[in-house]
A and B are shown apart, each in its own frame.
Chain A
Amino acid sequence: MRFGVVVFPGTWSDCDFHYVISEVVRQPVRYVWHRDRDLADLDCVVLPGGFSYGDYLRAGAVAGKSPVVEALGDFVARGGFVLGSCNGFQILCEGGLLPGALMRNECLQYRCQSTSLLVENVDTPFTRGMPPGQVLTMPISHGEGKYYADPETLRTLKARRQVVFRYATADGQVVRAANPNGSVENIAGVVNEGGNVLGLMPHPERAAETAMGGTDGLLLFQSLLGTLVEDGTFLRR
């Protein structure tokens, strides 16, 4: 599977994703400049975290209208995979590729910490192979990660099983105390209706080697590549 990592002015997790994909996941990967529209050689486009365009106007707003994000519309329509983490999630929402919006954290603090995520839907291309009730540990690092969707959108999201990750306790309890930013119903990540676009606030690329303190972020890549389904070695802890 060939990956592209998008670089906007102000992106900061691009090198981390590039490293993890090439050195840990061992798949071909190239950078994609934000003005590029040609994604024909790619199977999965990654929108990394950071502060694209300095978060001017709103986090992800300017990047959400960039040439590469416009090109993602066709890319997604023909079945390409898109993974947006942190600022990438904000960009996907601002660009209309995912429902809802991300707002300033309710606590008003920038939150940089480890989080436990309950995998609510194990039938997406990014989570298949995980057992129901799987809990992943990944760090967050953001000031504007409070997910918001109006009640009607929220009902639709749940009915279509588009909520993929919720902030939870280490044993998978979705409770208010485990919610780091005030996200509605503890939502940490969602997919589009087709299931091929995933946005999440946590950073899978920062949980990809033992030296980083955990490797749960790799599971998303292994799921996407099909290896998680094949060997089925990942079990709930």
Chain B
Amino acid sequence: MRVRVLVRLKPGILDVQGAAVQRALLGLGFGDVRELRVGKLIEVEVEAGAAEAARARVDEMCRKLLANPILEDYTIETVEGERLAPH
């Protein structure tokens, strides 16, 4: 089962990388960018019979290692083929 984890800085926490990228875009003429934040995408292939079991397992991974709960939020999506299955 393929699982996709999106890790983002929590709202309100200053994202200096995002701000730098936004400034670079401004320099390229993209003055219409209102906000830009940089996160992380982690793809996990996990042995599991059902999507729910896979999600639960990856949630445990997020709590133990993949995300830092002091700074980051995360969302977990199971991936079917190239299409994201909504959960």
Query: Which residues of A are at the interface with B, using a C-beta cutoff of 8 A?
Result: 57-58, 61-62, 65, 94, 100-101, 103-106, 108, 148-150, 182
Contact = CB atoms under 8 A, between A and B. Distances in A.
Nearest to A107: B16
Interface residues of B, number: 11
B34 interface: no
A149 B69 CA distance: 11
A108 B23 CA distance: 13
Nearest to A60: B68
Interface of B: 13-14, 16-17, 20, 64-66, 68, 70-71
B64 A101 contact: no
Contacts of B20: 108
Contacts, number: 30
A18 B65 CA distance: 30
A101 B70 contact: yes
Contacts of B16: 104-106, 108, 182
A108 B16 CA distance: 7
B43 to A, nearest CB: 14
B63 to A, nearest CB: 12
B16 to A, nearest CB: 5
Nearest to A61: B65
12 contacts: A57-B65, A61-B65, A65-B64, A94-B68, A103-B13, A104-B17, A105-B16, A148-B71, A149-B70, A150-B70, A182-B14, A182-B16
A144 to B, nearest CB: 11
Contacts of A149: 70
Nearest to B20: A108
Contacts of A148: 13, 70-71
A106 B14 contact: yes
A44 B24 CA distance: 46
Contacts of B13: 103, 148
B71 A65 contact: no
Given A65-B65, A104-B16, A105-B16, 12 more contacts: A57-B65, A61-B68, A62-B65, A65-B64, A94-B68, A101-B70, A104-B17, A106-B16, A108-B17, A108-B20, A148-B71, A149-B70
A228 to B, nearest CB: 33
B25 to A, nearest CB: 16
What are the 3 A-B residue pairs with the smallest beta carbon separation, nearest first? Answer: A101-B70, A101-B71, A108-B16
Contacts of A108: 16-17, 20
Contacts of B71: 101, 103, 148
B50 to A, nearest CB: 27
Contacts of A101: 68, 70-71
A65 B65 CA distance: 8
A172 to B, nearest CB: 27
A94 B68 CA distance: 8
B45 to A, nearest CB: 17
A148 B15 CA distance: 13
A104 B16 CA distance: 8
Contacts of A182: 14, 16
